[in-house]
Structure 1
Amino acid sequence: MSPESISGLLLSLIIFIIIPPSTQSDPLKTLLKLKTTLSNSNIHTFTTWNHNNPICNFTGVTCNINNTITELNLSQQQLTGTVDFNSLCSIQSLKKLSLATNHLHGTITPNISHCTNLQHLDLADNSFSGQFPWKSVAKLINLTYLSLGDNPFDKTQFPLEIFNLQNLQTLYLTNCSISGMIPEKLGTLASLHRLELSDNSLVGELPIGLTKLTNLQVLELYDNRLTGVFPTGFGNLVNLSKLDVSNNTLEGDVNELKTLTRLESLQLFENKFSGAIPVEFGEFKFLREFSIYKNKFTGELPEKIGSWAEFEFIDVSENMLSGAIPPDMCKNGKMYDILMLQNNFSGSLPESYANCWSLERLRVSNNSLSGRIPDGIWSLPRLKLIDLAMNQFEGEVSTNIGEAKSLAQLFLFNNRFSGELPEEISEASSLVEIKLMYNQLSGGLPATIGELKKLNSLHLEGNFFSGEIPESLGSCVSLNDINLAGNFLSGKIPASLGSIRGLNSLNLSGNKLSGEIPASLSSLKLSFIDLSNNMLIGPVPESLLAEAYGGSFAGNPGLCADRSKNLGRCSPVSHRSGGLGVAKYCFIGGPLVLVLLLLIACFILKRSKVKKCNNVTDGDFSWDMKQFHVISFDEGEILQSLKPDNLIGKGGSGNVYKVELGCGKKLAVKHMWRSGIDVGERKNYSSSATMLPKQKSRLPEYDAEVVALSSIRHVNVVKLYCSITNEDANLLVYEYMSNGSLWDQLHTYQKIEMGWDVRYKIAIGAAKGLEYLHHGCERPVIHRDVKSSNILLDKEMKPKIADFGLAKIMQANRDANSSHVIVGTYGYIAPEYGYTFNVTEKSDIYSFGVVLMELMTGKKPVEPEFGENKDIVSWIHDEIRSKGNVVGLVDPSIPDEAKRDAAKVLTIAIRCTMRFPAQRPSMRIIVQMLEQIEPV
């Protein structure tokens, strides 16, 4: 053998010894193997990954001039699956590996240490779990960029192994279960430019070592449990452009920050800082964002603050600040939020903000401000919220308000505004809330107010309004809450108010209203009504005499009722105080009414006999039965079972009956109400189909449910057998679910003991049902009312999604991601309603996250123990922040050996309920994540 051959053999042997066989592979085979372990919904990602294409042309692959792979970047590709780091790190030349912002899961194995040349490693924003191999990563001493945040790793103390990575410039460990104190040794990472440790369980004081990181440009420590003051020397971090320590319990003054003149964003909110705002902050020439709300700051804001750069945002709410509002924060025309509520600011609103075209929210409520509002403010084109409440502002509401086409919320209550409410307010077509109570407004209500189709809440109480309530108010179809109390309104209550199907609260008390209470109000599903202290006469509609409305009609001597302790009986004698008109009506109209009732009774009897004996199938009295599955029954078997003894449920849209066929098969039948049906009618109908309340037109809820369910075939969506309709009734016939709803099993006396296996079966089954609706239908279906009471359970506790009365099927010619309707159930409604009022599939996902929280904790979406204005989502977030333990939130009845798996489901629920819709995973990803924790 020649010397050259021997040398080659020795070299090969040396390479074989130094580089283990597991790390020697063909890069093409490695990448194609990686492709087989991943799947994605972005069809373009892997189209270039094939044997016929040079590897350097693969999407996400970067090579050097020698055609050697140096970078693999597959971030934001909607990938799911696991990653074999042992195989991937066989590509020894890799310097950059980025798999961030996908849906990858599984563990990160110690083999990652084989990527010895890595300088950039980004695995953030995935679903990697388990214990992170810090000892292995510590061997990657060339790393300058390490990003692992937003992964549900196992809880760990601050990893000291990091300090072996002395070349680090970026360290992103946000939201990856780190606890304990920040080590003093942090100051040895002198090359750090960016340090993000937010949303963890860090405790204790900021270490002195932090002050040595003089190259830092970004420092984010928000959402931890840090205490104490800014350490002496913190002002040495003069290169900082972004500082966020919000949502901790830090205290003391902020004088250490006055030298940080390069700051662009300063976030100190929700701490316990005190003292004055340093005057030097007014000279920060790069400052764009400034948020210090919920602290104890005193004194005045620097006059020049925000006047240098393109200042965008200020929130100093809930402090003890005083003095004038700085005049030049919108000087450069980029300001979008001015939030200064709950302080003691005084003086007037600076005239300069009348030209702040970029402004979207103006909130200065609960201060000591006064004077007139600059006229141009009312018409700012992007302004969505004007909140001037609880000050001493005066003057009129400008006619320019009609130009505020983006305005959704107008809060002017508890001021001294006067004059008339201009007709032009009806042109502000985006208005959702109007709260002008307790001012000195007068004149009539705008006759065109009915043009406000999005208006949800109208509060004008405690003013001097006069004249009649406009009939057009009934055209405000989205209204939920009307309060016109304590004015000088006169005339009749408009009957059109009865057509506002979603109206929940109506207060017209303390006015001069007259005439009778419109019968149309009977159709409303009101939780509150107050018509007291007016001049109303006549009988109170039967449906409004519930105990819940006690006192709602006091102070109206002319009102009567045949069954009420507080009102006189409806007889001619008892109505003398109501005037001759009532007595005359009872005396003359009574016989006519009696004759009319007899005619109606005969007509109904005739119809009943015809239907029972002759089974009429044509004409106006025919039944229309549409089948969506093969069935072995007819409408007769269904109709004869609709009687009070078979009633098993009531809801806002109708009653549900249990029907048992002759063959023993059980069905559930929903009879859906028409909005105009009187409650008395609903209560008194018999088992005869002819006595069902008359419905002259189809119901939107009925049509939505039929369209949504008629073509759906899925084991986790309730089966709709058929619909039965005629001019009198809308009936839907479903499969019967013997174990009721998930709500029943979790929160009522009907509940049964549910082990972990059952809970998991319900979670994964319901998820698959929603996945089918979002991804499996030809046209995606948004349910819009996902909640535990709409998840039904069969005899085997298999879950099925039900109640599609609010469902939205996406049209091909519409934006498939949204629907501008306020729907849903309190406690389950996604937070984006507060600023967009849009419903998307991500709104369903938020609601499903709440259901998972119910299922894993056993608690209702809203409980008194959560605290005022808090729901289960905020409670879980607060508990994790304060205790750092997800397992401790699991329902105690779940066995100890299953609590860790239940905690993993809770972690998925937390992702489902992220504040911003884009951060929530799709239902397809949720199913995959749940499948990963399937119980043995």
Structure 2
Amino acid sequence: MRGMLSLIEVNLSNNWLSGAIPAFGPFQKSAASSFSGNAKLCGDPLDVDCGSIYSSNYGMDHRRISYRVALAVVGSCVLIFSLVSLMVVLFMWRERQEKEAAEKKAEAGEMVVPAPQVVASTVFIESLQQAIDLQSCVKATFKEANELTNGTFSTIYKAVMPSGMVICVKKLKSVDRAVIHHQTKMIRELERLAHINHPNLVRPIGYVIYDDIALLLHHHMPNGTLLHLLHNDGDSDDDKQKPDWPRLLSIAIDIAEGLAFLHQVATIHLDISSVNVFLDSHYNALLGEIEISKLLDPSKGTASISAVAGSFGYIPPEYAYTMQVTVPGNVYSFGVVLLEILTSKLPVDEGFGEGVDLVKWVHTAPARGETPEQIMDPRLSTVSFAWRRQMLAVLKVAMLCTERALAKRPKMKKVVEMLLEAKNS
């Protein structure tokens, strides 16, 4: 418009224009009415100061921006606070849940301990390697409710695998450190024992070593031990499977055959007792704890009595001065088990009198005027003449096995023959 030199007057009324009127001669020479109807126009020739309009709009815009920023900041703070509060609440809830779970486990008798670091482990039987979880084996030993037997050299626990399989976990006691110090020898001996092929010996199926603890894995024996079978009369479940003489005689023969095999392969058992005789689902007897003699010192076939004593009541008298476990000593211990089967009495009982054990009580029966029939369990010996005859024959074998003189004790191979003769008599 600045090039329109002939322009004298303009009329821009009612056009909804806004802003400052430019400094241009025709604009300023025009009447104010030429710009009416434009509420947002300012400057000459209007009496509206542009400064007041702009400063007012700027203030309003500035306030709007400040309000939005403040709203965004406050909203962000509220969101962050809410998220942090939610995380704190979730963390406290989780801690409370874990604490309650730990308390429930403690009430149930289960120790809450972190899983230990396994140093060495293996499962010898390939078909069982997927079914056996080694951490489950370790954790089973932390719960007292899983304890099955507590012997001289080990405690045996029941362990249920995630697969549902049930096995026995044997936790070694006093020999733990010796085993760890000879780990390579131990593993070699366990592998050898795992391949022993005899139906009356409990063979290891694997092992776990952690810290200074050694665990041996075995098949689960559903009918427990001979100790349990003979002496747990108060258990209502046992009434259904009350031991009869034919079953007990078969168990005695099974033990004798397993022990005779050990002697044949130059292995001396260190703890022959009824608690170490295990019964499978068909009441076949298997002799346990066969690993102990080799684990104490794998380079020797015998072990010092200072490290090994066996179970009280089953220890032969000569061990007190020879300080050495022997084959005749094994025969003596087996004879105590036979007497335990025949009499249904424990090897040590207050009823025998002070300083008298089962062996002495049986051997001194004639001096007390008691007959063999009075020694034997009448619940068995009075059932039939055939049972009584067999029991008397087995009693003679037990008396020979528990002779004080080592030379009079028969070899286990001969014991097996005599027991089979008694069974067939």
Alpha-carbon offset, residue 792 of structure 1: 0.9
Deviations 1:391-443 (A, max 9, x none): xxxxxxxxxxxxxxxxxxxxxxxxxxxxxxxxxxxxxxxxxxxxxxxxxxxxx
Q: Is 1:625 the equivalent of 2:121?
A: yes
Aligned counterpart, 1:298: none
Aligned counterpart, 2:216: 732
Q: Larger relative contact order (C-alpha < 8 A, sep ≥ 6)?
A: 2
- Between the two proteins, the alignment pairs up a number of residues equal to 298
Structure 1 residue corresponding to 2:338, chosen from 838, 844, 852: 852
Aligned counterpart, 1:177: none
Counterparts of 1:474-553 in structure 2, within 5 Å, are: none
Alpha-carbon offset, residue 742 of structure 1: 0.8
Aligned counterpart, 1:771: 260
Supply the distance in 1 between the matched residues of 2:366 and 2:191 (Cα, whole angstroms).
Answer: 42
Alpha-carbon offset, residue 710 of structure 1: 3.0
Supply the distance in 2 between the matched residues of 1:730 and 1:812 (Cα, whole angstroms).
Answer: 15
Q: Give the 3 Å change call, closer, same or farther, for CA 811–926 of structure 1 in structure 2.
A: farther
Q: Is 1:902 the equivalent of 2:391?
A: yes
Q: Give the 3 Å change call, closer, same or farther, for CA 915–647 of structure 1 in structure 2.
A: closer
Gaps of 5+ in 1: 1-604, 612-620, 678-694
Aligned counterpart, 2:7: none
Q: Give the 3 Å change call, closer, same or farther, for CA 833–676 of structure 1 in structure 2.
A: closer
- Secondary structure in 2 matching 1:719: coil
- Secondary structure in 2 matching 1:831: coil
Supply the distance in 2 between the matched residues of 1:730 and 1:844 (Cα, whole angstroms).
Answer: 26
Deviations 1:781-804 (A, max 9, x none): 101210111111112111110123
Q: Compute the RMSD of aligned alpha carbons.
A: 3.5
Q: Give the 3 Å change call, closer, same or farther, for CA 903–732 of structure 1 in structure 2.
A: same
Alpha-carbon offset, residue 830 of structure 1: 0.7
In 2, are the aligned partners of 1:741 and 1:790 still within 8 Å (CA)? yes
- Secondary structure in 1 matching 2:224: coil
In 2, are the aligned partners of 1:653 and 1:672 still within 8 Å (CA)? yes
In 2, are the aligned partners of 1:783 and 1:808 still within 8 Å (CA)? no
Q: Which amino acid aligns with 1:906?
A: L
Aligned counterpart, 1:302: none
Alpha-carbon offset, residue 638 of structure 1: 3.6
Counterparts of 1:4-403 in structure 2, within 5 Å, are: none
Aligned counterpart, 2:242: 753
Aligned counterpart, 1:45: none
Structure 2 residue corresponding to 1:762, chosen from 251, 261, 270: 251
Structure 2 residue corresponding to 1:782, chosen from 252, 259, 268: 268
**TM-score, length basis structure 1:** 0.29
Q: Which amino acid aligns with 2:156?
A: V
Structure 2 residue corresponding to 1:825, chosen from 302, 308, 311: 311
Q: Which moved more, 1:633-642 or 1:848-857?
A: 633-642
Q: Is 1:914 the equivalent of 2:400?
A: no
Q: Is 1:716 the equivalent of 2:197?
A: no
- Secondary structure in 1 matching 2:168: strand
- Secondary structure in 2 matching 1:932: helix
In 1, are the aligned partners of 2:313 and 2:348 still within 8 Å (CA)? yes
Deviations 1:220-279 (A, max 9, x none): xxxxxxxxxxxxxxxxxxxxxxxxxxxxxxxxxxxxxxxxxxxxxxxxxxxxxxxxxxxx
Supply the distance in 2 between the matched residues of 1:810 and 1:653 (Cα, whole angstroms).
Answer: 10
Alpha-carbon offset, residue 636 of structure 1: 6.4
Supply the distance in 2 between the matched residues of 1:873 and 1:933 (Cα, whole angstroms).
Answer: 21
In 2, are the aligned partners of 1:702 and 1:805 still within 8 Å (CA)? no
In 2, are the aligned partners of 1:781 and 1:810 still within 8 Å (CA)? no
Q: Give the 3 Å change call, closer, same or farther, for CA 892–827 of structure 1 in structure 2.
A: same
Counterparts of 1:854-893 in structure 2, within 5 Å, are: 854-883=340-369, 885-893=371-379
Alpha-carbon offset, residue 892 of structure 1: 1.3
In 2, are the aligned partners of 1:708 and 1:809 still within 8 Å (CA)? no
Deviations 1:332-357 (A, max 9, x none): xxxxxxxxxxxxxxxxxxxxxxxxxx
In 1, are the aligned partners of 2:136 and 2:160 still within 8 Å (CA)? no
In 2, are the aligned partners of 1:787 and 1:851 still within 8 Å (CA)? yes
Q: Give the 3 Å change call, closer, same or farther, for CA 662–835 of structure 1 in structure 2.
A: closer
Alpha-carbon offset, residue 883 of structure 1: 3.3
Q: Which amino acid aligns with 2:122?
A: K
Higher strand share: 1
Q: Is 1:659 the equivalent of 2:159?
A: yes
In 1, are the aligned partners of 2:272 and 2:334 still within 8 Å (CA)? yes
Supply the distance in 2 between the matched residues of 1:850 and 1:652 (Cα, whole angstroms).
Answer: 17
Supply the distance in 1 between the matched residues of 2:340 and 2:159 (Cα, whole angstroms).
Answer: 31
Aligned counterpart, 1:804: 290
Higher helix share: 2
In 1, are the aligned partners of 2:273 and 2:334 still within 8 Å (CA)? yes
Alpha-carbon offset, residue 652 of structure 1: 5.5
In 2, are the aligned partners of 1:853 and 1:872 still within 8 Å (CA)? yes
Deviations 1:649-697 (A, max 9, x none): 44565543222345543211123357799xxxxxxxxxxxxxxxxx975
Q: Give the 3 Å change call, closer, same or farther, for CA 756–935 of structure 1 in structure 2.
A: farther
Structure 2 residue corresponding to 1:840, chosen from 326, 329, 333: 326
Q: Which amino acid aligns with 1:793?
A: L
Supply the distance in 2 between the matched residues of 1:675 and 1:782 (Cα, whole angstroms).
Answer: 17
Supply the distance in 1 between the matched residues of 2:127 and 2:180 (Cα, whole angstroms).
Answer: 28
Q: Give the 3 Å change call, closer, same or farther, for CA 658–928 of structure 1 in structure 2.
A: same
- Secondary structure in 2 matching 1:626: strand
Alpha-carbon offset, residue 756 of structure 1: 0.9
Supply the distance in 1 between the matched residues of 2:220 and 2:128 (Cα, whole angstroms).
Answer: 15
In 2, are the aligned partners of 1:670 and 1:733 still within 8 Å (CA)? yes
Q: Give the 3 Å change call, closer, same or farther, for CA 632–732 of structure 1 in structure 2.
A: same
Aligned counterpart, 1:648: 148
Q: Give the 3 Å change call, closer, same or farther, for CA 774–736 of structure 1 in structure 2.
A: same
Q: Give the 3 Å change call, closer, same or farther, for CA 808–782 of structure 1 in structure 2.
A: farther
- Secondary structure in 1 matching 2:419: helix
Alpha-carbon offset, residue 886 of structure 1: 1.8
Structure 2 residue corresponding to 1:671, chosen from 147, 160, 171: 171
In 2, are the aligned partners of 1:705 and 1:803 still within 8 Å (CA)? no
Q: Which amino acid aligns with 1:904?
A: A
Q: Which amino acid aligns with 1:848?
A: F
Alpha-carbon offset, residue 879 of structure 1: 0.9
Alpha-carbon offset, residue 867 of structure 1: 1.5
Q: Give the 3 Å change call, closer, same or farther, for CA 853–809 of structure 1 in structure 2.
A: same
In 2, are the aligned partners of 1:784 and 1:808 still within 8 Å (CA)? no
Q: Give the 3 Å change call, closer, same or farther, for CA 869–622 of structure 1 in structure 2.
A: closer
In 2, are the aligned partners of 1:765 and 1:799 still within 8 Å (CA)? yes
Supply the distance in 2 between the matched residues of 1:840 and 1:858 (Cα, whole angstroms).
Answer: 27
Alpha-carbon offset, residue 921 of structure 1: 0.4
Counterparts of 1:575-594 in structure 2, within 5 Å, are: none
- Secondary structure in 1 matching 2:400: helix
In 2, are the aligned partners of 1:873 and 1:913 still within 8 Å (CA)? yes
- Secondary structure in 1 matching 2:311: coil
Alpha-carbon offset, residue 904 of structure 1: 0.9
Q: Which amino acid aligns with 2:129?
A: F
Larger radius of gyration: 2
- Secondary structure in 2 matching 1:850: helix
Aligned counterpart, 1:933: 422
Supply the distance in 1 between the matched residues of 2:130 and 2:124 (Cα, whole angstroms).
Answer: 13
